Structure 1
Amino acid sequence: MAVVQAGRLQYEAILLAASLRHTNPDFKGRLLLAEPQLNHRWDTNPSVVNPEVRACLEMLGAEFVPFKNQVFGAGYPYGNKIEALGALPKGEPFLFLDTDTLITGDLSKVPFDFDRPTASMKREGTWPTIELYGPGYSAIWKSLYDKFGLDFESSLDLSQPDEYWQRYLYFNAGFFYHRCPHEFGARFLKFARQIRDDGPDEIVCQVLKPWLDQIALPLVVHSFNGGRQPDVSGPMDHDVTCHYRVLPLLYARERDHVVDVLEEVSAPNKIKKVLKQYEPMRRIIFQGKGRKARAIFDRDNLPRREQAIRNQLKRNKLWLR
């Protein structure tokens, strides 16, 4: 399941669907695209109204699943991945993927245990931001676990030093899974709303946008007896999927196989003509800007922080999204 809506995400969804069909030709599951509907939570229609995009996605086997935002919307579109879960079939195992993801390997080889969820470990220490005289990582995270009656100590990675961000359970929300989208979604929504509306004193000075989904996610995962699952997150983060975020970053830092999959699945004329409607994809994939970005970087010696890669792409006028 992924969330699809007008704009960039609808074109990313085409690449996601095409890469799934390309790398997993025997896939027996369903590809559900949750689509927010226009209501009071949106200033403009978030639905996919482009008939060519819809036809392309349906040609690739995707099924549109409409849902209405009751809590989030234009003010926090990342909340779509939370509210959309309630529109999926109840009691059926699901795998959520962000649309800016390519399937690059065999999903059947990943040992998913849908009773013990996990999520992407391809992340940086983006939250919380520690103030000089404010509470530290332990105090902040413990306050959240305590709020929801969860055991904090069992969530810690004791191989990491105290007050180092990787000691604390923190995910990128680019993928996650569970045995039931309704169970997971209801708890995800409850935790996210309470963190936003009635958070503990320790997070009063913390910025919640755009991190709210990633703050709530580890608490939800832990509450369902999940946690770090390197046998799942390892292949999902590095071999079987690629959460590329934006195409210039994909060309700058990902391995050759990822670029090959991207260019192969976007090449058929029925797909290419739709993707070309979106200017960044037209320029990056089909007019060679991506290959120019790739030539700038040494994949064996990349800058340690993503921001440095972004800055270099911007200096070369290759930051297109």
Structure 2
Amino acid sequence: MAKKKSSKAAEQLSSDFDIVIVGQSGRLQYECLLLAASLKEKAPSFSGTLYVAEPQAGPLWDKDPTMAGDIKGALTDLGAVILPFENTAFGESYPHGNKIEALCAMPEGRNFLFLDSDTLIVGDIGKLATDFTRPSASMRRTGTWPEEELYWPGYSAIWKSLYDRYDLDFESTLDLDQPDEYWEHYLYFNAGWVTGHDAPTFGARWRDWAVETRDNRPEELVLQSLDPWLDQVTLPLVIHSFGGGRPGDDLAGLDGDLTCHYRLLPLLYAREADAVVTALEDVTAPNKVKKWLKQYDPFKRMIYQKRGQKVRDLFDRNDLPPRERQLRNRIKREGFWMR
């Protein structure tokens, strides 16, 4: 029986998937260029489509969020497909919602991998094989939500109220290796990457539940902030509803030897492995990439004017400060912080 089960599981593994990221004016459009260039350089076996989802100007934006025309042209030259979408639920008031509404605009019936734009491809992600019908997301997270308050009802009460709201089984999501009322006991992800199947169906449920949670929160959440955590509060519910959960070993390459969610370049230089820095320098060296990335001052100074190496020299990767805030403060004190 075990062999049959293993064989059936193996049949579900697939390397046929598309990647979707969000691109808009400002920093994100240059991050998208870097990601697209790294995908082209480091993933020769990737056979899917890279979609750069672009929010369009509308009533939910005070300023036009669309990317510059020449940047879109550069992205297209790197093999990306620009995917315009309209904001109906989120927008400037909650830009994290772009990732949710971007999924709604994707083609139906395809396996997908959503990546935050501040991600570097460092290995051949085309060889990633997983069961996309069992969605999952990044575990490179900290206990950011819910926040402990003087009169709060506790982790279990807060999370259970959400599962009950959407008629989901709460108990089956718990990590029994972690103690009760400790944040890792509960299903919680970083939304920096998300896998799944049929992005519009996944995205529509995520959007609807995020809006419902925002506008009609359970009583147990009264003391809790949902900004910027709304996407990560509702993501575990959506993943669980589609039969997914915590990632297995087949997804270890994400946040591993396939991708690096660096967030900001000073943090990449401060804490990431030498292989990540080497990949960054390889990808950004060609003139056809350099001419675009140099338009963005933090990239120009960190990468091309070697400020990133100065940041790197401040830290011992084998003895990093335990909290990201400590990294940031040290970099700021030395005058090297940029975003």
Contact 1:173 1:214 in 2 (8 A): yes
Alpha-carbon distance in 1 for matches of 2:153, 2:333: 37
Structure 2 portions without partners, runs of 5+:
1-19
Tell me: CA distance 1:95–1:258, structure 2 relative to 1, closer, same or farther (3 Å). same
Amino acid in structure 2 at the alignment position of 1:37: Q
Q: Which residue of 2 aligns with 1:25?
A: 44
Contact 2:209 2:234 in 1 (8 A): yes
Q: Which residue of 2 aligns with 1:99?
A: 117
1:6-85 aligned at under 5 Å gives the runs 6-49=25-68, 51-85=69-103
Q: Which residue of 2 aligns with 1:193?
A: 211
Q: Deviations over 1:107-160 (max 9, x none)?
A: 243332111010000011111101122111111111111110010000000000
- How far apart are residue 106 of structure 1 and its match? 2.0
- How far apart are residue 233 of structure 1 and its match? 4.1
1:209 aligns with one of 212, 222, 227:
227
1:149-164 aligned at under 5 Å gives the runs 149-164=167-182
Q: Which residue of 1 aligns with 2:104?
A: 86
RMSD: 1.0
Q: Secondary structure at the match of 1:237?
A: coil
Q: Deviations over 1:203-227 (max 9, x none)?
A: 0110110110000101100111100
Structure 1 portions without partners, runs of 5+:
none
Tell me: CA distance 1:110–1:28, structure 2 relative to 1, closer, same or farther (3 Å). closer
Taking structure 2 as the reference length, what is the TM-score of the superposition?
A: 0.93
Q: Which residue of 1 aligns with 2:236?
A: 218
Amino acid in structure 2 at the alignment position of 1:18: A
Alpha-carbon distance in 1 for matches of 2:126, 2:67: 30
Q: List 4+ stretches of structure 1 deviating above 6 A.
A: none
Q: Secondary structure at the match of 2:256?
A: helix
Q: Which residue of 2 aligns with 1:274?
A: 292
Q: Secondary structure at the match of 1:318?
A: coil
Contact 2:130 2:251 in 1 (8 A): no
| Number of corresponding residues | 320
Alpha-carbon distance in 1 for matches of 2:140, 2:335: 26
What is the percent sequence identity of the aligned residues?
58
Asked if 1:314 is matched to 2:332, the reply is yes
Contact 2:269 2:312 in 1 (8 A): yes
Contact 2:97 2:231 in 1 (8 A): yes
Contact 2:161 2:218 in 1 (8 A): yes
Contact 2:107 2:199 in 1 (8 A): yes
Taking structure 1 as the reference length, what is the TM-score of the superposition?
A: 0.98
Tell me: CA distance 1:232–1:212, structure 2 relative to 1, closer, same or farther (3 Å). farther
1:302 aligns with one of 312, 320, 327:
320
